[in-house]
Amino acid sequence: MKKLVYILLPILFVSTSISCKDDKKVSETEEHAEGDGHDHGSEEGHEHGEEESETEVTLTEAQVKAIKIEFGNIEMKELNDAIKANGFLKVPNQNKAQVTSLYSGQIKSIRVQPGDYIGKGQTIAVIENPGQVLVQENYLTVVGQIQMTQTEVKRQKELYEGNAGALKNLQYAESQLKTLQTQRASLAKQLQMMGIKPGSVSAKNLNSSMAVKAPISGVIGAVLVDIGAYVDVSFPIAEIVDNSNLHLDLGVFEKDLPKIKKRQLIHFTMTNNPEKEYDAEIFSIGSTFEDQSKAVPVHARVKGEKSGLIDGMNVVAVISVGKNLVPAVPTEAIVNVGAEDFIFIQKPTPHVHTEEEHEHEFTFERIPVVKGTTDVGFTQITPLVKIEDNAKIVSKGAFFILAKMNNSGEHSHSH
């Protein structure tokens, strides 16, 4: 019995295996005969189409004409290389002023408003100061004493020359005259600082008002007092900013410093108005790192129009550091998907003759690239996959091709 079992089991196993294989072969043969390979080919084509839809898209000739697609090649272009830097606008301290009064007093009138342009020496405010009346009185008193002392000096001189007077009397009178003349000069200076001409001072024309004048030309940044307020010599009445020497303070990182030189041109925009572009020129490069950062301060003088620029505004700057010959495409040929950039190249489409002639089709492949310098409408690119040297790229209309590809992708996923 044992021998019979050992013989039968392999036979049964082999028989079962052969039977399974035959059934499978018959099944495959029947499916092939029924479908004549049609379904199998369709499934393969579907999988292949899905694979292509991720990087390729096909458009008809009518579609290409409708969206006005234009073709070109990757060209070698001499583009300006540039460094990007952040910074802010700054007015040098010698171009800013806090207007104060030389004497204490009460604000009688204010002649300016924030935003007004004012020239050096123009009146900003008028202060009522009774103390300056006393200065005028003292000036008139000293002028009178000088006249009397001059007469005394003349008399003592005549007496001395006639041997009728002592020398010490003449010397004393002359000393008194010099002292009074010094006092007159001091009081005259004080009157001038108050805006009063010493020659116009008289007993009938004492003035208690004092004009506070602009020490520099510029724009009124702020008015810090109200009419009736009492101010002393330490209290600022207004602020003036002269934008004529407006500077750009940028932070340039250590790795970019070797490319920075004086007189290099800078294009910059405001962070709150990126559409408007301004120009500046480098005049100073720092030699120490700023604060805790690895950035070195670079100073540039703003050139040309300065309207809308205010001390302290944040800016984004592009520093031109020279020209390089690089592979480039029109900037509009580059499209963005997420964090990646792409261009489209045209793939050759073989013409297949069928019973019904179809319209010519164009197939486009999406090629990943790394962007570089942008200048005069062109952008430097480095393709991340190898493409033919004479490959036709889509120079205009790439955005529409991307939109078509996205729509096709959504359509295939929905099915």
CATH number of the structural domain spanning residue 303: 2.40.30.170
Tokens encoding 282: 């480098």
Q: Residue 221, CB half-sphere, CA atoms under 13 Å: how many?
A: 19
Instruction: Please give the pLDDT value at position 205.
Output: 84
- Total domains in the chain come to 4
Q: Which of 8-12, 218-222, 244-248, 363-367 has the lowest mean pLDDT?
A: 8-12
Listed residues 177, 202, 227: the one ending a domain: 202
Nearest to 359 by CA among 71, 73, 66, 70: 66
Q: Distance between CA atoms of 28 and 18, rounded to whole angstroms?
A: 15
Could you give the strand order of the β-sheet that contains 218-223, starting from the edge strand earlier in sequence?
Answer: 96-100, 236-241, 218-223, 117-118
**Strand positions, DSSP E, 41-185:** 56-60, 70-72, 75-90, 96-100, 105-110, 117-118, 123-128
Percent of the chain with pLDDT over 70: 82
Q: Give yes or no: residues 376 and 387 share one domain.
A: yes
Average pLDDT value for the chain: 81
Confidence of residue 286 (pLDDT cuts 50, 70, 90): confident
Q: Which two tokens stand for residue 250?
A: 């940028």
Lowest mean pLDDT across 57-71, 152-166, 239-253, 397-411: 397-411
CA 11, 16, 18, 21: dihedral to nearest 10 degrees? -160
**Does 176 or 207 have the greater pLDDT score?**
176
- Say yes or no: 125 and 217 in one domain: yes
Residue pLDDT, tens place only, 300-349: 999 988 877 888 899 988 888 877 888 999 999 999 888 899 999 998 76
183 band by pLDDT with thresholds 50, 70 and 90: very high
Q: 67-125, pLDDT tens digit by residue?
A: 889 999 999 988 877 888 889 999 988 999 999 988 889 999 999 999 899 999 999 99
Structural contact between residues 264 and 320, judged by C-beta atoms closer than 8 angstroms? yes
Instruction: Give the pLDDT of residue 206.
Output: 87
State the residue range of the domain holding 224. 101-130+208-241
pLDDT tops 50 at residue 237: yes
Is residue 209 over pLDDT 70?
A: yes
- Of 323, 356, 380, which closes a domain? 323
Higher-pLDDT residue of 203, 216: 216
216 and 105 share one domain: yes
> 112 and 220 share a domain?
yes
C-alpha closest to that of 232 among 100, 58, 401, 78: 100
Whether the pLDDT of residue 65 is over 80: the answer is yes
Q: Strand locations in 271-332, DSSP E?
A: 273-285, 295-303, 314-330
CA distance 342 to 345: 10
Quote the Cα angle for 47-51-57, to 5°: 120
